[in-house]
Structure 1
């Protein structure tokens, strides 16, 4: 039996974190900048606080820890992973992710530097603070290159650049933004990386006491340059025995040098002519409904598993659900140009025998901007496969039925 006051702190949850904590019998303490009435009544203790004022959040957490038996601090929100780790360390929890590991994964420049210096993955990169600086360092790169901010997410401001002028424009766009999506100052050091040519995948894994297990490999579909927008994921992707071993060695060593001891992780990788390389490391389950795909195919709910690990659980005693299908896929709807949306939206109401979930964020006839990041896609469909038809084939059939056009 849980103590009466045993609780979990939830920091700006994005998905079903509240429900997961309540299902385990914990009191729920919610930290968020603003909380509406519905959300306030869904938790035991709603606390409105500026999450970017981390010292204040930590102070409130220490006070709460005197009143409640805090068992975990949890979020699926990429931006708030370091804050959760900071709170955990401040109140003496030692079962989850360390603050330094959280920072190493959240900040892309730290990830790249640590992987390079440790010789785990020596992707060529440099850091610049201005477009003028870039003109000098570009002498040591071959085009194309990737320009990205160090502390954004969701492919925002990530650009493939084919010339000096494109690099200058990309850097100036980042600097002019000033803050990232949650109002934190943009890291002044901007990444320029060599472009990794090859198919992209993500590895959904769990690390417990430093030992990493791969749960699933996800095949990714990404838009062509200049933007890097994820338009589809398929689970599972079956690697050859040789590739599996190489990927496992790469991600397990990467997590080790980054300091990840206990976490569910989502690691994006590419297979290039020079081998496998890390694109980025995320110390939380993947977004884009990847956890839904993984649960359909493996029975593991990655968010539920992440909370289980944060509470000190092991993979042996982790919750697991029935496998629903041998494959699952999500396809996102995007606008390839600004214009008016034309779409056959009847399937969103009537459904399809293999359609698991679907959402349309716009209305037929609505005028939309071009999709330039993962944050302004038009919707999605999720399909599951059968014994004789793969989910990727079914999802492409559904996309054809939708007849999406932007005019």
Structure 2
């Protein structure tokens, strides 16, 4: 099995990582010869498929399946067209993506399906979250406490050429679940907890999440499947929510390969979402059969003499990463670390039988990094904490 991955940034790294763990041969295509997924893949091609479609077709004809790992709509359209022309399995649903990439359209769909989403402003009062409709992750996201804050955030979003979505600020742990569909049926996969930094960017994923009641988990799974069925999803979709005191609040959906959560799931449970996705597109959709285990997936950066946890956007600056097993006592690290370097990045993966064991191992890894590199300071930034009424 040979998988072609179009895009060499974080999504590409995730796809390559999972594919290699599944035993697949991997090829990455990117316009940038410094894209970090290139050093992880078995082979690579540097080209812009929008400008060199004939060459891209020749290269991809040697693959058994192709997965887009980018969010450039022109490139996604080109990949969809090429896959149809050369009759190759496409692990992506462009129609579902077109809806999920607009928070306005996806919120409308979820509202029609009676999925619980945050209340719109001004009905909800303050604080609120102001975010662009067409961006992913934490890009352009602002917390607002007043009409002046809202106006400022909206002006910024308009300056990006996007439209705003303004909703209540839902307080509680961020949770995520992937859903895989075959165009008719859909299966929810494994729940993870997404931990944010002070810029509301993901710095850590924990699997499994502790202290979530079974009824909430079941509801979240069913909401995800209902959305996927409404989209007629033939591919993979990530569903993100807040587990608040007032119940679940579904924040957004993204119908593309996610970064971070699948690697945490694989290390905790043995469930490989790329393998499930390949089988679903071939018509063999199945639910997960997780093994018992626990994993923590976390981004780190060392610079200016300080080690700190960081969001994925900061980690994206990693150069020529490689997988190191057992480095500093971790289970694995995806890193550009070298002894004596004044700036390096790492995704640290620790795993164990129980969450408590895994957390202890993680703590010891941090201590080992500090001691062996004579680092005096470690920072772990987190979002501002506010108290909301129950």
**SS of corresponding position for 1:248:** helix
1:337-385 superposed Cα distances (whole Å, 9 cap, x missing partner): xx944349xxx99834454226477999969xxxxxxxxx964422112
Which of 364, 375, 378 pairs up with 1:404?
A: 378
Which of 183, 188, 192 pairs up with 1:214?
A: 188
Give distance in 1, aligned partners of 2:117 and 2:349: 36
Query: Structure 1: 5+ residue runs without aligned partners?
Result: 126-137, 179-185, 368-376
Which residue in 1 is equivalent to 2:255? 283
1:101-140 maps to which residues of 2 (within 5 A)? 101-125=96-120, 139-140=122-123
Which residue in 2 is equivalent to 1:128? none
CA displacement at 1:158 relative to structure 2: 1.2
Which residue in 1 is equivalent to 2:317? none
Compared CA separation, residues 330 and 25, structure 1 to 2 (3 A): closer
CA displacement at 1:103 relative to structure 2: 0.9
Which residue in 2 is equivalent to 1:154? 137
Which of 313, 317, 333 pairs up with 1:357?
A: 333
CA displacement at 1:142 relative to structure 2: 0.8
Conserved 8 A contact 2:131-2:166:
yes
Compared CA separation, residues 61 and 306, structure 1 to 2 (3 A): farther
**SS of corresponding position for 1:192:** strand
Which residue in 2 is equivalent to 1:370? none
Matched, 1:342 2:306: yes
Which residue in 1 is equivalent to 2:95? 100
1:13-57 superposed Cα distances (whole Å, 9 cap, x missing partner): 42275694996579x6x653345799699658x4722x6x5xx67
Conserved 8 A contact 1:266-1:282:
yes
Which residue in 1 is equivalent to 2:320? none
CA displacement at 1:281 relative to structure 2: 1.4
CA displacement at 1:301 relative to structure 2: 2.2
Which residue in 2 is equivalent to 1:77? 70
Which residue in 2 is equivalent to 1:242? 215
Give distance in 1, aligned partners of 2:334 and 2:46: 33
Which residue in 1 is equivalent to 2:171? 197
Give distance in 1, aligned partners of 2:23 and 2:342: 40
> Over aligned residue pairs, what C-alpha RMSD do you find?
4.4
Conserved 8 A contact 2:65-2:88:
yes
Normalising by structure 2, report the TM-score: 0.71
**SS of corresponding position for 1:390:** helix
Give distance in 2, aligned partners of 1:119 and 1:286: 25
CA displacement at 1:228 relative to structure 2: 1.1
Conserved 8 A contact 2:138-2:201:
yes
User: How many aligned positions are there?
Assistant: 348
Conserved 8 A contact 2:188-2:287:
no
Matched, 1:266 2:264: no
Conserved 8 A contact 1:147-1:160:
yes
Which of 225, 243, 246 pairs up with 1:252?
A: 225
Which of 351, 356, 359 pairs up with 1:384?
A: 351
Compared CA separation, residues 155 and 360, structure 1 to 2 (3 A): farther
Higher RCO (CA 8 Å, separation ≥ 6 residues): 2
Give distance in 2, aligned partners of 1:350 and 1:70: 32
